[in-house]
Structure 1
């Protein structure tokens, strides 16, 4: 088989030399071939499309975090080409969700020998997709601060938490699921195609990225302790402070502009968000013994 590895050198704020060396060593004595494409943040879309056309790879592998996975997935939607993951980012939420280990050799074993699994995507405003978690409000504001500072990893997240906590405000939202319209004041609203953030904080216990639905998670109240759970693995959130609504489509309106992020990438401030599920649009390579049902 032919493998194309799309490597984001800046993902997680760390050099990817260990991952590249691991890929090279793994394929040295293999009947398969591996091509490495280094992303540069400027001509990535054109370069990836050209490599897909020229190589016609059997499998494409994203080497990076959630943003890298999302970028590669956008080019593979509805193509049938399987997407593998080497979790080389700072949080690696999607990899954690899919039980892909952070070890180079073990994750490469899944890329080569894993099972194929159709995964849903959430289509946002008809011009973007979400594989993992998107949200408006508090966490999106944290993501904005995190991307603006120079400190990465958990210390960078903590610095962003402290900034946002001083300014947190409730959003007045209207959530239309078609058969009902829900009015809520919330600190944040999450569109969840999965169970947890990359830090391990479980916000949607019954989430499954391959069940044909997503969940709207409304955080009505959050203590400081619960906010910190967004960044470290503790118990699930208090169900008295959150509501979870399953949906296949939803339209959310805010009465003032709200911070918005998609799969860990800040998207700006919005007053309206439309979302719908696209079942099984992406084929991914997962561990054979831990794949979601």
Structure 2
């Protein structure tokens, strides 16, 4: 009987994602692999030289799988390097929201997600290429939520208290955006509070923005939030309820060009990207290979 291949895992760990100390995660990963035929190396991200240092570790260690340990921003960053190195991405959810991990049915526990890394299946998922330079795995948006991401990043408080403070600031400063949206099939003009490029169904909070989203269907959805009452905002951002379908429009697309009348806040996968007036995006079907649970619905 042929011996199963021994795999090499390189873990890229964000030590401060979710505002939590990851030292117990590091020891947990090492303890898990002591009982495995596979090997693991740990690399701590520092937010300074990661773009140059992580590729060096990939080249020297030559892993079979590159694993992101952190939240959605960490996953996005590590996924870019997995793409460049042409190796599958593994995910250990260790952020404050973990939207992409939830979308892919990856267990929230360290032990459960490690089991998926070793015993799961390699499956392709889509990416949204934004402005020809960046990739969105999960959700990007213009407007209110991107503004919330900015305020949360700037705040000194983490967790629910910091999130609630950010929500209050957004509520006081919310403004309608005037937009032109060109999907190739149609051009529409809208006044909206938010526009989402959705490769998935829901935010990490559990709030459903795109009920029929699928990360492996060869398209994405442009979700336009046209109206938001104070009650609906509170339901969305505090109680994490789905958006009221009466107030949204959803345009399936394989590409889009969006122009705003004034600069708008913009974020990609939980990472604030500044204020923009224009963006283009296109789907890259099946471009990223991810290690997923055997029963993942993809």
**Normalised-by-shorter TM-score class:** over 0.9
Q: Match of 1:192? A: 198
Contact 1:248 1:277 in 2 (8 A): yes
- In the alignment of these two chains, the number of paired residues is 292
Deviation at 1:224, TM superposition (A): 2.5
2: CA distance between counterparts of 1:191 and 1:213? 11
Matches within 5 A, 1:178-217: 178-217=184-223
Q: Does 1:265 find its partner at 2:297?
A: no
1: CA distance between counterparts of 2:107 and 2:262? 40
Single out whichever of 205-214 and 80-89 deviates more from structure 2: 80-89
SS in 1 for 2:69: strand
Q: RMSD between aligned alpha carbons?
A: 1.2
What are the superposed Cα offsets for residues 13-50 of structure 1, whole Å, 9 maximum, x if unpaired? 11101211210110112111000000111110111101
Q: Match of 1:35? A: 41
Deviation at 1:233, TM superposition (A): 5.5
Contact 2:206 2:241 in 1 (8 A): no
Q: Does 1:292 find its partner at 2:297?
A: yes
2: CA distance between counterparts of 1:267 and 1:36? 28
What are the superposed Cα offsets for residues 116-153 of structure 1, whole Å, 9 maximum, x if unpaired? 11011101111111110000001111111000001111
SS in 1 for 2:173: coil
Q: Does 1:156 find its partner at 2:188?
A: no
What are the superposed Cα offsets for residues 224-273 of structure 1, whole Å, 9 maximum, x if unpaired? 23223444555422111000010000000000000001101110000001
Matches within 5 A, 1:75-114: 75-77=81-83, 79-114=85-120
Taking a change above 3 Å as real, the CA distance of residues 136 and 105 of structure 1, as seen in their structure-2 partners, is same
Matches within 5 A, 1:1-293: 1-77=7-83, 79-232=85-238, 234-289=240-295, 291-293=296-298
What's the TM-score once normalised by structure 2's chain length? 0.95
Contact 2:75 2:91 in 1 (8 A): yes
SS in 1 for 2:40: strand
Single out whichever of 230-239 and 77-86 deviates more from structure 2: 230-239
SS in 2 for 1:251: strand
1: CA distance between counterparts of 2:280 and 2:268? 13
Contact 1:5 1:63 in 2 (8 A): yes
Contact 1:208 1:292 in 2 (8 A): no
Contact 1:11 1:90 in 2 (8 A): yes
SS in 1 for 2:291: strand
